[in-house]
Amino acid sequence: MLGRKIMFVFALWSWVVLVAARPLSQSGSAAPAQSLRDPNLRRARTPAELKEEMLKKSPGPRLDPQRLRNMTEQQRKDEVARVRRLREEAARKRQQARPKETAREQAERLAKSKAERERKRKAIKEIRAKWAREFLNEKYALVVTDEQWAVIKPKLQRIRDLRSSPRSSAGLGLTSSGSSQTGKGEAEGGGVPTWQWSARWLDLPLARRTEGQKIAGELIDLVADKNTTARQFQEKMAALRKVRSVEEAAKRKKEEPLPEAQQELRDMLTTRQEAALVLMGWL
């Protein structure tokens, strides 16, 4: 009798354990399935899987390294040319299968792209101007506190004011057609690179240019004109040299207090800070 009771209790306990473990196993098996459905919980793919996926996306056949090892040099060249030709054909068919862009859509896309490039160019120009205006490069190079910077910044400003002088020179650079600096020598068609004269003062209106800058602008026009005579060149060059000699004399007179201003700045710097400003051309 006692043995039957023990067997009954053991069977009942086993059944309870099985019933209690069943939901746990079901919930445990559902978690991996959920993780596979969730893109944020997917496991990292192996290099072999990534390569296989890339091969599926790549149009046309691919070279078989094992097969190439058993070929002669001429056979390899022929095989490479054949695979390249087939891949180009597959890419061409793939391109043709895409919906074609209308002329209006293409014009809108190009205009939008051009506007975005211009916006980024202006943003970068504004950031650079701010950094130069606020001497932020110098501040980070000197590694100073705000109190020290409040004393050093006016000294740098004074040196800049003594050095600043209007320039009438221009450089030759490779820019895209449609540059706002000068339209001389632009190639036809938007975005075509071409050699052009470039200088900051070329963006200024004529009324804001100095005498030397006006003459330099006229000389740029003469250089761009194929019908300019030698006498016209000589007269304009002589006028520009005369103005530049006056500008250089005024610049030397203006820069007479410069060594004193540099010494005042040098006196409040450590040797490391002085070395940084020497590298940056201030001292």
Give the CA distances from residue 281 to residues 87, 152, 163, 164, 226, in Å, rounded to whole numbers and listed in that order: 55, 16, 12, 14, 40
Say which DSSP state 168 is in: -
The pTM of this model reads: 0.44
Name, in order, each residue with C-beta under 8 angstroms of 100's C-beta and a sequence gap of 6 or more: none
CA 176 to centroid of chain Cα atoms: 16
Q: Please choose, from the candidates 144, 163, 166, 164, the residue with its C-alpha nearest in 3D space to the C-alpha of residue 283.
A: 163
Strand segments (E) across the chain: 171-176, 193-198
* Chain segment 207-240, per-residue pLDDT in tens: 888 888 888 888 888 888 889 899 998 998 999 8
Percentage of the chain exceeding pLDDT 70: 68
Could you say which residues of the chain have pLDDT below 50?
Answer: 23-41, 174, 176-190
Q: Please choose, from the candidates 205, 161, 193, 198, the residue with its C-alpha nearest in 3D space to the C-alpha of residue 182.
A: 198
Question: What is the Cα–Cα distance from 136 to 131, expressed in whole angstroms?
Answer: 5
DSSP readout, 104-133?
HHHHHHHHHHHHHHHHHHHHHHHHHHHHHH
Say which DSSP state 39 is in: G
* Chain segment 126-167, per-residue pLDDT in tens: 888 887 778 888 888 888 888 888 899 898 888 888 877 666
